[in-house]
Amino acid sequence: MHWVDVESKRLQSFSERHVIATGITPSGDIHVGNMREILTGEVITRGLKQKNVEAQLIYIGDTIDPLRKVYPFLDESYKEHVGKPLSEIPCPCSSHKSYAEHFLTPFLDAAKTLGIEANVLLSHEMYAQGMYTEASRKVLDNKDRIKEILQDISKRDLPDDWFPYNPKCSECGRLTTTKVIGYEFPYVNYTCSCGHEGKADLRKDDGKLPWRVDWPARWWFLGVTFEPFGKDHAAAGGSYDTAKRISEEVFDRKAPQYVVYEWIQLKGKGAMSSSTGVVISAAKMLKMTPPEVFRYFVLRNNPIKHLDFDPGLGILNLVDEYDSTEKRYFEGSADDKSKRIEKIEEELARTYELSQPFSLPSKLPLQIPYRHLVSVVQINEDFEGILDILKRAEHFESLSKEDENHLKQRIGCVKFWLDNFAPEKVKFSIAKETPKITLESDHKKYLEDLSIKLTQEEWAPDAIHNAIYELAQIQNIKSKTAFQLVYQAILDQKHGPRLGYFLSTLDKGFVVGRIGEVAK
């Protein structure tokens, strides 16, 4: 049984209605690793609904959180904004209302592309609308008990003047430079290191609860029953342990059920981090990875398993694996799902179904080998030109609108990947002029004879490959050398895509003529 169905069945036994929550602080590019959390929440929501359980997914942007420091990707002008809420800091590109919106918007757009539908809540608006008012009152009325819980669980002493609320200075706008000097609902009196003295209103966005207290507070007033979170929160003495106690002893409700997930690491660079800039943003990820393929990448493994995201050649392997699974899923009887599933493991079939951003395809979608598409896109960037090449290679005669859209989307991913992440060894371009190559006499004769031999061959990948290889054997030319000679003739470099497939996409007359010209 797939892990999503295991979790959904477990949650079904707890309640017939669930509120699933996930969230992030938009302090920098929201990366591929962060996408694992919201995607985990989404598939659990989907799994529950498929069991006729009422379920809602909530995504919380912690937009009231302060800017902690000037991160490596920011210029020094942001030094004056350190300590201010992210929702009140200028956008780095001047195109959004705030710093928070700058980083949150592309992530939420990426989530929609992945088929994730969530009720998006922004913490600065939640405070401003009074959603935190009663929770904040409970916290401050029980501050001594909360302090005991935090010290008991974390095994560290808090200062005597610790207070579970961070007022925002009405003069300098910072949350991190204030000190509470008094409280009587609904006001918290404070002084600020900037010299200002004032009071914050708990009914507004005049401040916020610290994270370890904010988390159980939102569980309470949002009615959260399930939440996936990273392994850092699950560590002994970590934020979940304290939130659980606060939830039960202050808010008088059981802590939500949960799933712990491991990090998605960037291959060769370790764990991704918005603050260090070691990231591939969710937006960029979906420009180079078809959405169903990324969902497959995450969902094929249990959340507790760490994943390595390889934006280089790993993308090609990942798409190939997905396409292979898809093909197996649709093998067998087209109108009998049970017979089709017999040909593929049940868990893998379920992974494929959950990988679909929206509805399950009614038939096998158009499949063009991804590596082949990488080659074709570099031969002709125009969509109509790409279609001509693929038709010439007999991949299809005509396209349905659905398959055309599928192909366009994949072509877009390939182009972005080639421009931004592809290793140099897979890149090429057809030499516009005939390359001038110094040839040894036996190599010259080989190319002369090859141009004649190819004229007589069927223009198909295997036939072309075999012709190149067999002639090399006959003339005692190393096969590696023979292939390099042909690459040089066409690309003016000694390597390139799989030669038989590559040449079959080109005009036969051009290939034969070019090889003959080089031989001369």
DSSP string over 398-453: ---HHHHHHHHHHHHHHHHHHHHT--GGG-----SS-------HHHHHHHHHHHHH
How confident is the model at residue 336, as a pLDDT? 57
Per the listing, tokens 């009720």 go with: 119
The residues of the chain that CATH labels 1.10.10.350 are 441-519
Q: What Å distances lie between residue 132 and 118, 129, 204, 240, CA to CA?
A: 20, 8, 9, 20
Instruction: Report residue 117 as tokens.
Output: 């539908």
- In this structure, are residues 233 and 239 in contact, taking their beta carbons and an 8 Å threshold? yes
Fill in the DSSP letter of residue 255: P
In eight-state DSSP terms, residue 398 is -
State the residue for tokens 């049984």.
1
CATH of domain 1-283: 3.40.50.620
CA distance 32 to 114: 12
Among candidate residues 368, 363, 348, 355, the one with its CA nearest the CA of residue 409: 368
Residues written for the chain: 520
- Tell me if residue 433 falls in helix, strand or coil: coil
| 175 contacts 88 by C-beta, under 8 angstroms | no
Spatial distance between the Cα atoms of 413 and 367, rounded to a whole number of angstroms: 15
Question: Residues 190, 192, 195, 201: is their CA dihedral positive or negative?
Answer: negative
Q: What are the residue ranges in the chain where pLDDT is below 70?
A: 274-278, 332-343, 394
Longest alpha-carbon distance in the chain: 96
Beta bridge partners of 263: none
Amino acid in the structure at residue 140: L
* CB of 468 closer than 8 Å to CB of 437: no
Best CA proximity match to 23, nearest among 115, 104, 109, 102: 104
Phi, psi of 85 (to 5 degrees): -60, 140
> Which run of H or E residues covers position 271?
strand 270-271
- Secondary structure, 3-state, 77-141: HHHHHCCCEHHHCCCCCCCCCCHHHHHHHHHHHHHHHCCCCCEEEEHHHHHHCCCCHHHHHHHHH
Instruction: Name, in order, each residue with C-beta under 8 angstroms of 382's C-beta and a sequence gap of 6 or more.
Output: none
Q: What number of other Cβ atoms are within 10 A of residue 144's Cβ?
A: 9
Say if residue 138 is exposed, middle or buried (CB neighbours under 10 Å; 0-12, 13-18, 19+): buried
Return the closest-CA partner of residue 370 out of 425, 288, 431.
288
Cα(419)–Cα(234) distance, rounded to whole angstroms?
39
- Whether the Cβ atoms of residue 106 and residue 282 lie closer than 8 Å to each other: yes
Cα torsion angle, 362, 366, 371, 373, sign: negative
318-358: pLDDT as tens digits = 999 999 999 999 986 455 555 555 557 899 999 999 999 99
CATH topology of domain 284-420: Arc Repressor Mutant, subunit A (1.10.10)
Domain span(s) for CATH 3.40.50.620 in the chain = 1-283
Domain 441-519 has CATH 1.10.10.350: yes
Q: Which residues pair with 187 in a beta bridge?
A: 184, 201
Single out the residue of 49, 223, 45, 54 nearest to residue 135, CA to CA.
Answer: 223
Beta strand 307-309 pairing with 264-266: parallel
Whole-number pLDDT of residue 276: 63
Against a cut of 0.85, is the pTM above it?
Answer: yes
Distances (CA, A) of 352 to 47, 263, 325: 14, 22, 7
Listed in order, the ranges of the chain carrying CATH 1.10.10.770 are 284-420
